[in-house]
């Protein structure tokens, strides 16, 4: 099954992707991760997208579609695909349908992780990401000393705060989501492919239980 995970910044798309990979061994593509890697390596695309990402704006469709085309030429869809952070505009959603139909495939379901803005803001401000393996954690219940010494529970590397995980950038990312990405929700709704789960549940594993009922 090929699924698109939808939801605002901090809705838990990355965390739920980790659960899906672990449970079903699905192929995962996160455009945010691909872009951060390109920025880190200062590739041609990375240099072009850096300022958009820092400010919380969307990277232009042409750039992201090129990156996805390349990725699609390398992937094996036999175990199913999770798309995390793509599509983020209706143009991208249309292009995705075209790209998949060219390889005789399609999106089966779009799952919206529906999360109120207050939850998103609190969650993102305390989110930390492993520099090495991308593990996503939270410092919400840690004291200052524990925050300073916070290491990745998976690989032991340093947990860092993403440059775009600060309050002013978050407010812009929420605004960008509402203006440019919310129409993608309607795109899948009109195709009867949209399903929704409550993303505000405190335990991510409970959100995953609900996602599992949708994809079995
Ligand atoms: P994410 O990790 O999914 O929150 O993405 C981080 C940033 O990467 C976003 O704020 C955008 O600047 C950029 N980005 C990721 N995916 C896309 C996309 N599909 N279209 C445009 N920009 C994207």
pLDDT at 76: 84
Distance 116 CA to ligand 1 centre (A): 19
pTM: 0.90
Q: Which residue has the higher pLDDT, 76 or 4?
A: 4
Burial grade of 19 (CB within 10 A; 0-12, 13-18, 19 or more): middle
Q: 78-124, pLDDT tens digit by residue?
A: 889 999 999 999 999 999 999 999 889 999 999 999 999 999 999 99
Active site residues: 13, 88, 127, 162, 173
DSSP 157-201: -BEE--TT-SHHHHHHHHHHIIIIIHHHHHHHHHTT-EEEEETT-
186's tokens: 């309607």
pLDDT at 79: 82
Any ligand 1 atom below 6 A from CB of 86: yes
């Amino acid at each position: 099954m090929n699924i698109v995970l939808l939801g605002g910044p901090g809705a838990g798309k990355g965390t739920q992707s980790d659960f899906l990979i672990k449970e079903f061994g699905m192929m995962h593509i996160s455009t945010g991760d691909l872009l951060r890697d390109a920025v880190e390596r200062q590739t041609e695309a990375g240099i072009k997208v850096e300022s958009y990402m820092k400010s919380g704006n969307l990277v232009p469709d042409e750039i992201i579609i090129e990156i996805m085309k390349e990725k699609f030429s390398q992937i094996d869809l036999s175990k199913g695909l999770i798309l995390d952070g793509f599509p983020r505009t209706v143009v991208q959603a249309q292009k995705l349908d075209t790209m998949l139909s060219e390889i005789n495939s399609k999106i089966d379901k779009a799952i919206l992780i529906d999360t109120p803005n207050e939850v998103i803001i609190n969650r993102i401000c305390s989110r930390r990401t492993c520099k090495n393996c991308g593990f996503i954690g939270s410092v919400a219940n840690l004291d200052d000393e524990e925050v300073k010494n916070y290491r990745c529970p998976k690989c032991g590397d340093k947990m860092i705060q993403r440059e775009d995980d600060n309050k002013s950038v978050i407010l812009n990312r929420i605004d960008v989501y509402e203006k440019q990405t919310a129409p993608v929700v309607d795109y899948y709704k009109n195709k009867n492919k949209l399903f929704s789960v409550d993303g505000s549940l405190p335990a991510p594993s409970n959100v995953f239980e609900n996602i599992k009922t949708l994809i079995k």
